[in-house]
Amino acid sequence: MARVVVDVMLKPEILDPQGQAVQRALPRLGFEGIADVRQGKRFELEVEGPVDEAALARIHEMAETFLANTVIEDFTVKVDGEAR
Amino acid sequence: MARVVVDVMLKPEILDPQGQAVQRALPRLGFEGIADVRQGKRFELEVEGPVDEAALARIHEMAETFLANTVIEDFTVKVDGEAR
Amino acid sequence: MTLDTVKHAGETPDTDQPWAELGLKPDEYERIREILGRRPTGAELAMYSVMWSEHCSYKSSKVHLRQFGEKVPANDAMLVGIGENAGVVDVGQGYAVTFKVESHNHPSYIEPYQGAATGIGGIVRDILAMGARPVAVMDPLRFGAADHPDTKRVLPGVVAGIGGYGNCLGLPNIGGEVVFDACYQGNPLVNALCVGVMKHEDIHLAKASGAGNKVILYGARTGGDGIGGVSVLASETFDSTGPAKRPAVQVGDPFQEKLLIECTLEIFREDLVDGIQDLGGAGLSCATSELASAGSGGMRVELDTVPLRDSSLSPEEILMSESQERMCAVVEPGKVERFMEICEKWDVIATVIGEVTDGERLEIFWHGEQIVDVPPRTVAHEGPVYERPYARPDWQDALQADDANKLPRPATAEELRAQVLKVVASPNQASKSWITDQYDRFVQGNTILSQPEDSGMVRIDEETNLGVAVATDGNGRYTKLDPYTGAQLALAESYRNVAASGARPLAISNCLNFGSPEDPAVMWQFAEATRGLADGCLELGTPVTGGNVSLYNQTGETAIHPTPVVAVLGVIDDVERRTPIAFAEEGQLLYLLGDTAEELGGSAWSQVIHDHLGGLPPKVDLGREKLLGEILISASRDGMADAAHDLSDGGLIQALVESCLRGGKGARIVVPDGMDPFVFLFSESAGRALVSVPRSEELRFTDMCGARGLPATRVGVVDGEEIAIQGQFSIPLAELREAHEATIPALLV
Amino acid sequence: MTARVGVITFPGTLDDRDTQRAVRIAGLEPVPLWHRDKDLQQVDAVVLPGGFSYGDYLRAGAISRFSPVMEKVIEGAREGMPVLGICNGFQVLTETHLLPGAMLRNNHLHFICRDQKLRVENAETAWTSDYEVGQEISVPLKNIDGRYVADERTLDMLEAEGRVAFRYVDVNPNGSLRDIAGITNEAGNVVGLMPHPEHAVEPLVGTGRTDGLGFFTSILKKLVSV
Ligand SMILES: Nc1ncnc2c1ncn2[C@@H]1O[C@H](COP(=O)(O)OP(=O)(O)O)[C@@H](O)[C@H]1O
Ligand SMILES: [Mg+2]
């Protein structure tokens, strides 16, 4: 079985309160030098059968219609090699 | 500025109801053949200055003490190349 | 691109401008040119276009809404009326209460979670801007057919968004509505209400005065989200292509808003602001022009000082951005330092962006050059006003002639029993606890009543037990059948709900959800409904203190049912005297107050059993509603009733089932002589309530009703583990509970 | 003279005023503490109230645990000062590792607000001595990250040492392992639980029960008798 990873991030122009909260906390914890933090979601999908173009196209569609709301989010799909 | 990505996933033995909910919904939406889904967090950090070993070590520490709760979560740190 | 300055605009009168894309009509653009004596700059055009949009200017509805100000009942409780961020009423003991209901319909369809969340955020800031601590929220909601696949997307997202935002702010959710109807399929209605409490002397207004006073923007940074949101999302139908090159949906940050609330309340406590305004639709355009317009003098703003989240924003975009969680305050120079300290304490970013001038213009500068020079009133308060044509639709007669009273009725007691179960299990009549359990109803520790009670009630003074109650109601089916009566029925029901809890109704807020005002049939519905509501308020003695209009709720040619949602606020001197809906005391007597006629038009029964909408809605008698209210309030105050539940959709049987399930006790019911059991159970005649009276109080109670001329019929007794309708059927509580509670979870999980 | 109980307000804390009220009703003196405070103003005990501190962003309680005031709380707790964490406060206590385990999203993924029945499993902590072991109480529960998890070894240890303080009865509202609603540290001075006793102290509001008052009367007795 292969693993496909879908990363979903808020579009750059959309407010990311979570990322901001993390970034604001960092200096207090003694971590300097991080100019920006964005927080998103990572989906790890275990795919049965071959991860061919057709499968990736389907996962792409799934990401577009379900995993992400493209009004506010961008996503990327990538094959992660063999699942552990 | 370079981007470093920290992925945080629940440990395999911890129940992930969010991933499960996604997986359960897939067949209803017409997506078959996904054996498992896990949902985690992705942090994109924009790092000022060089991403050398020292910087990565600091980010590793940040992930371990703050971005992840290692009682329940695993994490990985990787450099994502130049930030856009 | 060169900056479009005021000077440049004067020199280039013939430059083409995208006024049409921004939603302006040719004559509106002409009027702007007339006002300014030149073409507007890009920034001015942006401001006028958002402020003159339907959503901000009320240009189609204004002529009708005027009645709320003209037909004002004698009521000295009103401290601040229509026109401010929210109305304010005096509830005694030096307390003032402000409340308002608003819509966030279209954004919630596009992005259910964030759309609904920012709907709560927006109304809470309105209440805060009046000087009040927000103390509760409510959420009247309407979705498409319960079994439609898209409802599975929209409803859970909306509910999670309302909960996610409201829970995080620490505001108890004390009530609302959930209605399903295919007419809302592409146009769910997400209305949100907030109640706030303050002392009289804390009331604040949105006005800028005192030359030299500073204008401070505080809260979140301004980003590129929600630009064009106002004009595109709230005013136009979806298929029209708007100017939104940036996303028109905003993401809310409830944590930031919580800080904003606490920070603002601390600023009020130290009396540091002269005028204050929240930033909602139309962002800075709205806040600056409204503050300046309502005050004396002008205002000068340096736009470069606005803290940005995205440095690539143009000045036009900064003016239009609807980034959430921002407020604008006018502060005397001597108080600025302390103001800033408090903001710092709460980690809230605050920036002086300008000052009040002794001129008459709103002037905005960018990189040292002037890009806006306008009379603020022309932006904020003197927008276009339309007398849209309206006409009673030609189908109205046929609809009313399709009489629901003639529908086939159950032939046997067994069939009647089956229909009872079917109605109480139908999505609109079923328990909504799957939804309302996702809302915190306990936070702040003052919740006296919350869902599924008739009204939400909170204590506002711990020493004296003074409290307020709020209920919201609307019935699109009734209103479709007869808009004038439908609006009055919504008012009557909401009024009745407040009174049934033991509180004295004081004031009204409303949210008018309709289709396109460009359709004369819709405009007629709107005109009739506002007339009905205004007349009703006059008769009941409860002024309208504010509200909101949401138009263009339609898909193609098809509008939603006209859906005025009416919120009634009441006061109760001692919350210990509140009346819950639960029938909990075995042996108590059940009295039906009011008259039951054969009225099935628009009823739950006609919808569930026959999928039918036709005939006339129940008749309204507001004099009777008032009398009923007085009786319910007296019964509560003098301890004559232990429980009361108003009758509305679903009729007597629905109220009975809810009260029995809530109390965990059954009832034995006798059908009054000469009454048809079916009509008795399912008719939706208005002006009725079911009351549980202790035997020791029976005489006193019936004497009171008799003396005041309110029909009171003894219909049964609280008893046992089932609802038994004598001579007809009985249903065990367990079976009723299963039917009533299983429906919604089954639809959504 | 009665005892002084500090109630901490983090940015985003919601139930601080409610907790102060509960403390007052029990006859104690509430002392508001601010997250930036560097000392505890000589309070005798501390409550970390519910809410969404820092919006619960990242993880519930994750950011608050680094507040200046928490250093003093951790110090005090180690020296035996009674500390109670309610809901978000419990989450902060697990993030600081004053209590073991972690809190995760409810198994049904929804916020849940309900009147929750609990069984008292340990009536010897600083905050539970007014209850009896096996006693069932009802208090409001309201959270979205209320699922208690820990590894098997930790769970076994908690059980063996009697450190499960409260268990959910009838309904496990969030998938917490072994129905755990609240736990205590070894010494019994630090207690954390998800349900909200401070919302069950007056007959008039909320669910109309006063089952939660015992937390505050327990601490009153403890502090005033020493
Ligand atoms: N979306 C909601 N949010 C909060 N409370 C709700 C919601 N929907 C319904 N309720 C509550 O459920 C109860 C029953 O609602 P409903 O049947 O519409 O009341 P009524 O018919 O008496 O106006 C009321 O207490 C109402 O406030
Ligand atoms: Mg009611």
Tell me the C-alpha distance between C552 and C356, whole Å.
Answer: 37
- The pair of three-digit structure tokens given for residue B66, joined into one six-digit string: 């703050």
Helix axes C336-345, C254-269, angle to 10 degrees: 140
Q: In the 3-class helix/strand/coil scheme, how is B30-60 assigned residue by residue? A: CCCCEEEEEEEEEEEEEECCCCCHHHHHHHH
Task: Give the model confidence (pLDDT) of C455-506 as tens digits.
Answer: 999 999 999 999 999 999 999 999 999 999 999 999 999 999 999 999 999 9
Residue ID of nearest Cα to ligand 1 atom 23: C473
Q: Which domain covers residue A65, as residue numbers?
A: 2-80
Task: Give the model confidence (pLDDT) of D146-197 as tens digits.
Answer: 999 999 999 999 999 999 999 999 999 999 999 999 999 999 999 999 999 9
Collapse the DSSP code of D13 into the 3-class scheme (helix H, G, I; strand E, B; otherwise coil) and give the result: strand
- The pair of three-digit structure tokens given for residue C476, joined into one six-digit string: 């699109």
- Indicate whether residue C650 lines ligand 1 (CB < 6 A): no
- The pair of three-digit structure tokens given for residue B28, joined into one six-digit string: 């209803």
Is the domain C85-201+418-512+519-561+568-748 a CATH 3.90.1300.10 member? no
Active site residues of D: 87, 196, 198
Report the pLDDT value the prediction gives residue D1, as an integer from 0 to 100: 66
Binary contact (D140, C164; C-beta < 8 A)? no
Closest in C168, C438, C459 to D52, CB measured: C168
- Indicate whether residue C648 lines ligand 1 (CB < 6 A): yes
Report the pLDDT value the prediction gives residue B30, as an integer from 0 to 100: 83
Question: Are the C-beta atoms of residues D87 and D147 closer than 8 Å to each other?
Answer: no
Report the pLDDT value the prediction gives residue A83, as an integer from 0 to 100: 42
Which of the ligands is closest to the CA of residue C566? Answer: 1
Give the total number of structural domains in chain B: 1
Weakly modelled stretches of chain C, pLDDT under 70: 1, 226, 228-248
Q: Show me where the domains of chain C are located.
A: 6-61+205-380, 85-201+418-512+519-561+568-748
Write down the residue that tokens 């920034």 correspond to: C43
Nearest CA in chain D to A29: D66
Tell me the C-alpha distance between C333 and C222, whole Å.
Answer: 24
Which chain B residues are Cβ-neighbours of D98 within 8 angstroms?
A: none
A/C interface, count of CB pairs below 8 Å: 41
Report the pLDDT value the prediction gives residue A81, as an integer from 0 to 100: 61
- Residue A66 sits in a domain of what CATH number? 3.30.1280.10
pTM of the model: 0.94
Report the pLDDT value the prediction gives residue A8, as an integer from 0 to 100: 97
Closest in A34, A41, A49 to B46, CB measured: A34
Write down the residue that tokens 């309206």 correspond to: C390
Between D226 and D55, whose confidence is greater? D55
DSSP states of D147-194: EEE--HHHHHHHHHTT-EEEEE-S--SS--GGGEEEEE-TTSSEEEES
At B31, is the pLDDT very low, low, confident or very high (cuts 50, 70, 90)? confident
Check if B70 contacts D (Cβ < 8 Å).
no
Report the pLDDT value the prediction gives residue A49, as an integer from 0 to 100: 86
Which chain C residues are Cβ-neighbours of D62 within 8 angstroms?
A: none
Residues contacting D153, CB < 8 A, separation 6+: none
For residue D135, the 8-state DSSP code is -
Tell me the C-alpha distance between D15 and C265, whole Å.
Answer: 17
Closest in B18, B67, B69 to D105, CB measured: B18
For residue B7, the 8-state DSSP code is E
Question: Are the C-beta atoms of residues C564 and C512 closer than 8 Å to each other?
Answer: yes
- Indicate whether residue C142 lines ligand 1 (CB < 6 A): no
Nearest CA in chain A to B40: A42
Tell me the C-alpha distance between C432 and D188, whole Å.
Answer: 41
- Indicate whether residue C44 lines ligand 1 (CB < 6 A): no
Check if D6 contacts C (Cβ < 8 Å).
no
Closest ligand 1 atom to residue C497 Cα is 22
Most A CBs within 10 Å: which of C222, C245, C253, as the mutation test of the A interface? C253
Task: Quote the percentage of chain D above a pLDDT of 90.
Answer: 96
At A12, is the pLDDT very low, low, confident or very high (cuts 50, 70, 90)? confident
Question: Are the C-beta atoms of residues C80 and C87 closer than 8 Å to each other?
Answer: yes
Q: Which amino acid, residue C102? A: E
Collapse the DSSP code of C362 into the 3-class scheme (helix H, G, I; strand E, B; otherwise coil) and give the result: strand
For residue A15, pLDDT beyond 80: yes
Q: Which amino acid, residue C646? A: D
C-beta atoms surrounding C623 within 10 Å: 11
Is the domain C6-61+205-380 a CATH 3.90.550.10 member? no
C-beta atoms surrounding C344 within 10 Å: 12
Domains of chain D: 4-225 (3.40.50.880)
Write down the residue that tokens 């999928």 correspond to: C611
Backbone angles phi, psi at C54, to 5 degrees: -55, -45
Backbone angles phi, psi at C23, to 5 degrees: 90, 5
